[in-house]
Amino acid sequence: MKKIFIIHYSLFLALVASAQSPFISRVWEYCPAPGQFVNELPAYELGDDANTMRLKAEEAIADDQRGMITLGGWGGYVLFGFDHMVPNIADQNDFIVLGNAFYSASGEEEEGRRGGSCEPGIVLVSYDANGNGQPDDAWYELAGSEYANKSTIHDYAVTYFRPAIGHEATPSQVTPALIDTTYIRWQDNHSAMGYLSQLSFHTQPYFPEWIELDSMTFTGARLPDNYRDLSGNGTNYVLYSYPWGYADNHPNTDQRAELDINWAVCDDGTPANLPGIHFVKVYTAVHQQCGWIGETSTEIMGAIDLHCHTAVSNASAEPTEKAIYTITGVRVSEPLPHSVYILREGNRVELKIQK
């Protein structure tokens, strides 16, 4: 018995020594645009600043916490990283960004698109080219299915303005849930302006409380609106998924939520040909207001390296497709997508590697 224990223990050490977390380890920046869940996901408290809000976002989505943060309206973003390079494996998806998208029964398949609550975020990736462990290198957009859509605006920018002191609400005469239709004014770089409405369901401030400036400007690409009002009278808004290449756009268990580093492009649209990535940035990519359900905002619950089990299997002298390895002290939960299956038994965690 003792001998078996020692063998197991040395295997355990070998596994731990080589183990990299499949989950993101750090949030580097959290900067949501104004929105109906801002100051609540995560919760702002008096005295918070950009760094404490970053830490709250990290507590929510790093490791395998699976809490949730909102990115607010168009342009709001989060920047996070892994503790290793996620490799770009040829012909395979490489990572997934977890959101809270779901399909609804009323949102029928339409031109390959499922409807429900799909709030696509554009994903950018970065390779730590200078090797300093910091996200100070070039960024590359993952060119999702709408990258070449003629209605996608690639040079978009929006400025949001904090409501003035003494601002008076303009309640909707038609939709009671809209208690202030002139709440957060915005102006884009294509001569359009408008407002984010305040909703009766969410009455906390929508402009990030820890931001001291009276306006916030975001830049990026704007995807075409993805909503339809199926009722025709403003009571049933359905948000349709785009085919592939975005965050919070398909349910986390749907393979089309997975992302391929090979989709990364340079600013001129040519392939970036990255060997892998260390850092990821996601921002809300549609700029739309859907009546009583308010503005569309991407939500993030974490991200997972889909290849991380490779490092675990390599730690064994003779890995086999159906080998089961036991590791203690690793926090995981099921199910992971792709080919890793995780079982929990007491305080043991088993990684089952399958093809």
Q: Is 336 helix (H, G, I), strand (E, B) or coil?
A: coil
260 binds Ca ion (CB under 5 A): yes
From the CB of 247, what's the least distance to Ca ion, in Å?
9
Residues 181, 299, 349, 351: which binds Ca ion (CB under 5 A)?
A: 299
Q: Which of 48, 64, 94, 188 binds Ca ion (CB under 5 A)?
A: 94
Minimum CB distance to Ca ion, residue 279 (Å): 8
Nearer Cβ to Ca ion, position 197 or 226?
A: 226
In the three-class reduction of DSSP (H, G, I as helix; E, B as strand; rest coil), residue 293 is classed as: helix
- Cβ 27 vs Cβ 58: under 8 Å: yes
The CB-of-136 to Ca ion minimum distance in angstroms stands at 5
Measured CA distances, 352 to 9, 65, 271, 318 (Å): 18, 21, 34, 14
Contact pick of 36, 70, 88, 288 for Ca ion (by CB under 5 A): 88
Q: Give the span between the Cα atoms of 337 and 247, in whole angstroms.
A: 15
Distance CA 226, CA 219 (A): 20
With contacts defined by CB under 5 A, how many residues of the chain interact with Ca ion?
A: 17
Q: How far is the CB of 6 from Ca ion (least distance, A)?
A: 39
Could you please report the per-residue DSSP string of 186-242? EEETTS-EEEEEEETTB-S--S-TT--SSEEEEEEEEPPP-EEETTSSSS-EEEEPP
CB of 164 to Ca ion, least distance (A): 30
Residues 337, 320: contact at Cβ < 8 Å? no
Counts of helices then strands in the chain (DSSP H, E):
3, 22
Cβ of residue 167: shortest distance to Ca ion, in angstroms? 28
Phi, psi for 51 (deg, rounded to 5) = -75, -40
Q: How far apart are CA 168 and CA 25, in angstroms?
A: 43
Segment interacting with Ca ion, rule: CB under 5 A, options 12-20, 157-165, 254-262, 306-314: 254-262
User: What is the nearest approach in angstroms of Ca ion to the Cβ of residue 259?
Assistant: 9
**Which pair of structure tokens corresponds to residue 111?**
């031109």
Q: E-assigned strands of 100-177?
A: 102-103, 115-117, 121-126, 139-142, 153-161
The answer to the question of residue 40 lying near Ca ion (CB under 5 A) is no
Residue 190 beta carbon to Ca ion: minimum distance, rounded to whole angstroms: 25
Q: Of 19-27, 157-165, 214-222, 298-306, which part binds Ca ion (CB under 5 A)?
A: 298-306
Residue 266, CB-side half-sphere exposure with 13 Å CA sphere:
6
Q: Which stretch binds Ca ion (CB under 5 A): 49-57, 139-147, 259-267, 280-288?
A: 259-267
| Cα distance between residue 311 and residue 41, in whole Å | 34
Cα(76)–Cα(74) distance, integer angstroms: 6
Looking at the Cβ atoms of 81 and 220, the one nearer to Ca ion is 81
Query: Is 248 among the residues that bind Ca ion (CB under 5 A)?
Result: yes
Q: Does residue 49 touch Ca ion according to CB under 5 A? A: no
Q: Which is nearer to Ca ion, 139 or 210 (CB)?
A: 139
Give CA–CA dist 139/154, Å, rounded: 15
In the complex, the smallest distance separating the C-beta of residue 296 from Ca ion, rounded to whole angstroms, is 8
CB nearer Ca ion, residue 88 or residue 185: 88
Nearer to Ca ion among residue 146 and residue 299 (C-beta) = 299
Site track 125-154 with Ca ion (rule: CB under 5 A), x = hit: ---x-x-x-x-xx-----------------
Q: Which of 20, 25, 65, 100 binds Ca ion (CB under 5 A)?
A: 100
Residues in the chain, overall count: 355
Task: Choose the stretch contacting Ca ion; rule: CB under 5 A; options: 15-23, 69-77, 228-236, 252-260.
Answer: 252-260
Q: Is residue 262 a contact point for Ca ion (CB under 5 A)?
A: yes
Binding site for Ca ion (CB under 5 A): 88-89, 92, 94, 100, 119, 128, 130, 132, 134, 136-137, 248, 260-262, 299
